């Protein structure tokens, strides 16, 4: 199954208040394994960067000034994601900004039923714990030493590892693969062809009751009231 794990950086918290998308990072997974294919763009937001947002991701007005508009990259983005499920952390936030940009370009919204929210999964799996991306990386032993500032592609790469752990971990797949490999017909034929150790032949032990044992049983049964096994049937 193909899935796209992605993250965004923005000028603020709400597209309804005029905040814009400035970065998208996405990567492809097939059967929960990264394929190496990724998509990454910076976008000129056509507005000034608030200091609060700059403190989070470090993307300045000067850096973004010569970057393309989202409308120039929308075709490449839509081609990359295709019709695959989209995985994000606090996905409502990211979907909101992407759909706002799509609407601005005259494209249809991405359907919300394609959304997989790792924040919701984490809250269900670890109630009462911290559910930020940093906290989940710490919980699962995922190295985030390069994450000095937020960056969409780096965060998507970290999230892909978190997503695998939240949905069962890699070890389950490895064990299943080993079991499948061990049960191949070639292995079974090899096992059948191995010489089997010779065991000593033993004579069967006598198991019938002796005449004395039958007589003692009959005497015991004769003392019972309505026995299940009458003495004469023995």
221 in a structural domain: no
113 in any annotated domain: yes
Q: Which of 95, 112, 81 is nearest to 7 (CA)?
A: 95
Q: According to the model, what pLDDT value does residue 170 have? A: 67
How high is the pLDDT of residue 176?
Answer: 47
- Per-residue confidence band for 223, with pLDDT thresholds at 50, 70 and 90: confident
Active-site positions read 150
In this structure, is residue 12 part of a structural domain? yes
User: For residue range 9-64, what is the model confidence (pLDDT) as tens digits?
Assistant: 999 999 999 999 999 999 999 999 999 999 999 999 999 999 999 999 999 999 99
pLDDT at 197: 58
How many structural domains is the chain composed of? Answer: 1
7 annotated ligand binder: yes
Expressed as residue numbers, the domain containing 17 is: 2-172
Does 158 reside within a domain? yes
Does some domain include residue 212?
no
CATH of the domain at 161: 3.30.420.10
Is 52 annotated to bind a ligand? Reply is yes
Query: Going by C-beta distance under 8 Å and a sequence separation of 6 or more, which residues neighbour residue 75?
Result: none
Residue 165 domain-assigned? yes
Annotated binding residue at 192?
no
Within a domain: residue 194?
no
229 within a domain of the structure (yes/no): no
What is the sign of the dihedral through the CA atoms of 42, 80, 15 and 117?
negative
């Amino acid at each position: 199954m193909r899935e796209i794990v992605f993250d965004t950086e923005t000028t603020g918290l709400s597209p309804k208040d005029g905040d814009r998308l400035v970065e998208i990072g996405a990567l492809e997974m097939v059967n929960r394994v990264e394929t190496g294919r990724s998509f990454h763009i910076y976008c000129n937001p056509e507005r000034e960067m608030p200091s609060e947002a700059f403190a989070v991701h470090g993307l300045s007005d000067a850096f973004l000034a010569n970057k393309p508009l989202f409308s120039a990259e929308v075709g490449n983005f839509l081609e990359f994601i295709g019709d695959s499920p989209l995985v994000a952390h606090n996905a409502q936030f990211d979907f909101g900004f992407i759909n706002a940009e799509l609407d601005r370009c005259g494209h249809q919204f991405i359907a919300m039923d394609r959304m997989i929210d790792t924040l919701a999964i984490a809250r269900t799996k670890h109630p009462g714990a911290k559910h930020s991306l940093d906290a989940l990386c710490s919980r699962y032993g995922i190295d985030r030493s390069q994450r000095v500032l937020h960056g969409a592609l780096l965060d998507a790469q970290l999230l892909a590892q978190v997503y695998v752990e939240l949905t069962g971990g890699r070890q389950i797949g490895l064990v299943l693969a080993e079991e499948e490999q061990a049960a191949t017909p070639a292995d079974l034929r090899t096992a059948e062809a191995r010489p089997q150790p010779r065991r000593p032949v033993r004579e069967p032990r006598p198991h019938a009751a002796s005449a004395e044992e039958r007589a003692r049983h009959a005497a015991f049964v004769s003392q019972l009231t309505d026995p299940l096994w009458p003495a004469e049937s023995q």
